Structure 1
Amino acid sequence: MSTSRVNIVAIDTESALRPLITEVIRDRPLLYLHIVGPELGDRHLISIMTLYIPSKNVVYLLDIEEMRHVAFTTTNADGKSLKYILELPSLRKVIFDIRHGSDSLFYLYQIRVKGIRDVQLMETVLRWGRQDTLGILSVAMQRNSTFPEALVKKWCDLNSKSSYVFNPLSGGRRGTFGERPIRQDIMRYVVAQVAVLPDLYNVYCSKLQQSDEADVRARVAEATRWRLIISQRPRAQSALILGWRGPWDDAYDHAVENGYKTPIQIAAPEDGVNYGVSYDHDEPEDDEYGLECFEKVWDVIGHCNSPGPIDESI
């Protein structure tokens, strides 16, 4: 297992962003994505977009609070931008629940994200039992992660403690995401969110690629496309998918059994757009890949012990 450490790079200027754009366009890596902000999904400001590229051992913290539109309109020498990357169907972006991020990206910056692999939907469609409610990342970790139990507990503890920083129900403030310099406790939280995605994506890809799972892959692709379409519609319509009900309820099953159009097909009919959401050829990495990625990132997170700006020495 490689011992090279992950670098955390904060980007808040055009000059710092251009090399990232060029690198992603050139290498077409698998991107692990997290988007956060005050009241995200209610078309409020995006504060931080986190991009994890395991193949490069780098986590990028894009300061959208500081850059705003410039973050998405800045172009490299070839005229390509972050908007171009997010809208590129052939470039896979893995995220846990795209709904709120897609909602804000479209209505604030007119970005129609494509190429999404939604880990929340993958977990739901592969779950044994009811599929009409959506899960949360910590539960997916506890049920499906291949990590040792001690590591899972550490991650869940950090995730729980973070809620005291930004969750008003726990005494925190949503505006904490917008404080500058970026607080180290916020940095730990957003980096931890992407750190676990390679493992879970690997687990779910392996299950989806089983020979008898073609229908399941089609279901999760259809639901991903549905999320993207509806989240980019007027508020009254997009609000329909921002709750905790899953797409595969009794009405869906009844429609499939009787040959009717499903609620998903009715709400988001085929529009001829390539959203790049097919899961048919998503091959899992080797078994050690997810744990290796997580351990590298966790080693860096452990060096951030107090609120305040990111420690440039880590």
Structure 2
Amino acid sequence: MNAARRHVGRAFSSTPRTLRSVAQKRTVFNLKGGSKAGAAAATEAVAPAAAAAPIAAPQSLKKLGRDKKPELPAVNAPPPGFVPVELPGRAKKIQTFFIDNPAGVSELADRLWTQALAGRANDDNCLYVDLEGADLCRDGSLSLLIFYSTRLREAFVVDVFLLQAAAFTTRGSKHDVSLQDILESADCRKAFFDVRNDSDALFWHYGVGLRGCEDIQLMENASRDDGNRNLVSGLMKCMTKILTVAEKEEWDNAKAAGKDLFNRGSFEVFDVRPLSPEIISYCVGDVYYLPRLRKAHWKKLSEEWREKVMEETKARIVESQQELYQPLKAAMARGPWEADWVWVPLEEYKPQEYKPRASRPAPRPTWAKKKRREVQLKGEH
């Protein structure tokens, strides 16, 4: 029997590779009187020979690259130039992107313009905008530009500090529009909360004249049930009225984390790179709840008051572009339509041209106070 096994082993060594597996099976299962150990020995005798001669891919497949596994694209990969940012709490429900390169600005301009055209007939379709910087106005800095789209459920934080003018002038490859075109377009509706200092910074730093804007602060002031419109409210006070207890606590925590950084290093933390997640969460938190705030107050306004809100928003923009505008004056807290104020409708709105600061300011066509007019007339006579 041992002689027979040795004979089989020699037969395996001289058997072609294609027939070797068949011979091996016969050795294991057809040897009468053989043992499992003998079958294992026969298998071990074949293994070294198989390892010594690996099967090579045909040359034609190598040339075609089919011998390699194809690289599959990433699932839900962000567009070029978009850096995804994970936010805590309810803000994680919306996708947030940080954009600090021209490729991202180009993609963003195309995306926002497509949204504006698609939802033009929808009253609720609006682009929510906010700006951040150290002492945000003509005398301060403009560091971040934040957009939030309810249609896309996406937030975008544009790094103006790094991109400078390219953040507004870089054009999209699909629609050939820039962020400046979108901000200045009357067809693309944009909502701000107190547009004055945002408009001031945009105009005097980069020559952007806002159009097609709504001011949610004015909506809240005009829609008050008690009719007390003497003073406008800040964002925090307005949020308290519409948020649940859990939402208010979460929003306060995000604001507190951002303010803690301000207290340690002033508002110049907006210019520190890389930008901390607390700052991004602070910025997105301001625009995340603006759609709910707008909806709560806009639906309460009559057609007459809606027209007044839109006209006063235009007046705020025109005023912020003037040479004599004071962004931090105490009078900014006063409401624009007190009982003794007379409505003076604006003429067709035309944004002012971008001029040097030494230019002569144009008069502001807006509300006029009746008592003040009477005093001026008496003084002239």
Q: TM-score, normalised by structure 1?
A: 0.74
Residue 121 of structure 1 corresponds to which residue in structure 2? 218
Residue 109 of structure 2 corresponds to which residue in structure 1? 21
Residue 196 of structure 2 corresponds to which residue in structure 1? 99
Task: Return the match for 1:31 from 98, 108, 127.
Answer: 127
Residues 72 and 59 of structure 1, relative CA distance in 2, 3 Å threshold:
same
Contact 1:163 1:172 in 2 (8 A): no
What is the total number of aligned residue pairs between the two structures? 252
Structure possessing the higher radius of gyration over alpha carbons? 2
Contact 1:99 1:241 in 2 (8 A): no
Return 5+ residue gaps in structure 2 as ranges. 1-90, 120-125, 353-381
Residues 62 and 90 of structure 1, relative CA distance in 2, 3 Å threshold:
same
Residues 192 and 4 of structure 1, relative CA distance in 2, 3 Å threshold:
closer
Alignment of 1:138-153 (within 5 A): 138-143=236-241, 145=242, 147-153=243-249
Which has the larger displacement, 96-105 or 227-236?
Answer: 227-236
- Between the aligned partners of 1:17 and 1:104, the Cα distance in structure 2 is 19
SS state of the match for residue 340, structure 2? helix
Contact 2:319 2:325 in 1 (8 A): no
Deviation at 1:93, TM superposition (A): 0.8
Q: Does 1:75 align with 2:161?
A: no
- Between the aligned partners of 1:246 and 1:41, the Cα distance in structure 2 is 21
Q: Does 1:62 align with 2:169?
A: no
Report the residue type matching 1:254 in the other structure: D
Contact 2:115 2:151 in 1 (8 A): no
- Between the aligned partners of 1:198 and 1:272, the Cα distance in structure 2 is 25
Alignment of 1:233-248 (within 5 A): 233-236=322-325, 243-248=332-337
Structure 1 consecutive aligned stretches of length 4 or more whose deviation exceeds 3 Å: 235-242
Report the residue type matching 1:94 in the other structure: A
Give deviations 1:69-112, integer Å, cap 9, x for gaps: 01111112343111000000121111111111100100111111
Residue 192 of structure 1 corresponds to which residue in structure 2? 285
Return 5+ residue gaps in structure 1 as ranges. 276-314
Residues 43 and 115 of structure 1, relative CA distance in 2, 3 Å threshold:
farther
Contact 2:197 2:327 in 1 (8 A): no
Deviation at 1:152, TM superposition (A): 1.9
- Between the aligned partners of 1:141 and 1:189, the Cα distance in structure 2 is 14
Contact 2:102 2:166 in 1 (8 A): yes
SS state of the match for residue 308, structure 2? helix
CA RMSD of aligned residues (A): 2.4
- Between the aligned partners of 1:37 and 1:274, the Cα distance in structure 2 is 24
Residues 243 and 255 of structure 1, relative CA distance in 2, 3 Å threshold:
closer
Deviation at 1:162, TM superposition (A): 2.7
Contact 1:49 1:64 in 2 (8 A): yes
- Between the aligned partners of 2:265 and 2:250, the Cα distance in structure 1 is 21
Give deviations 1:200-241, integer Å, cap 9, x for gaps: 111112212xxxx12211221121011011011114467669
Residues 5 and 106 of structure 1, relative CA distance in 2, 3 Å threshold:
same
Q: Of the two structures, which has the highest relative contact order with CA contacts closer than 8 Å and spacing of 6 or more? A: 1
Contact 2:138 2:205 in 1 (8 A): no
SS state of the match for residue 319, structure 2? helix
Deviation at 1:119, TM superposition (A): 0.8
Q: TM-score, normalised by structure 2?
A: 0.61
- Between the aligned partners of 1:21 and 1:242, the Cα distance in structure 2 is 36
Contact 1:72 1:83 in 2 (8 A): yes
Task: Return the match for 1:137 from 229, 235, 247.
Answer: 235
Task: Return the match for 1:46 from 116, 123, 142.
Answer: 142
Residue 99 of structure 2 corresponds to which residue in structure 1? 11
Deviation at 1:274, TM superposition (A): 8.3
Q: Does 1:205 align with 2:298?
A: yes
Residues 120 and 239 of structure 1, relative CA distance in 2, 3 Å threshold:
same
Alignment of 1:151-190 (within 5 A): 151-166=247-262, 170=263, 172-190=265-283
Contact 1:42 1:103 in 2 (8 A): yes
Contact 1:227 1:241 in 2 (8 A): no
Give deviations 1:39-98, integer Å, cap 9, x for gaps: 102442211111111221211010000001011111123431110000001211111111
Report the residue type matching 1:177 in the other structure: F
Report the residue type matching 1:180 in the other structure: R
SS state of the match for residue 204, structure 1? helix
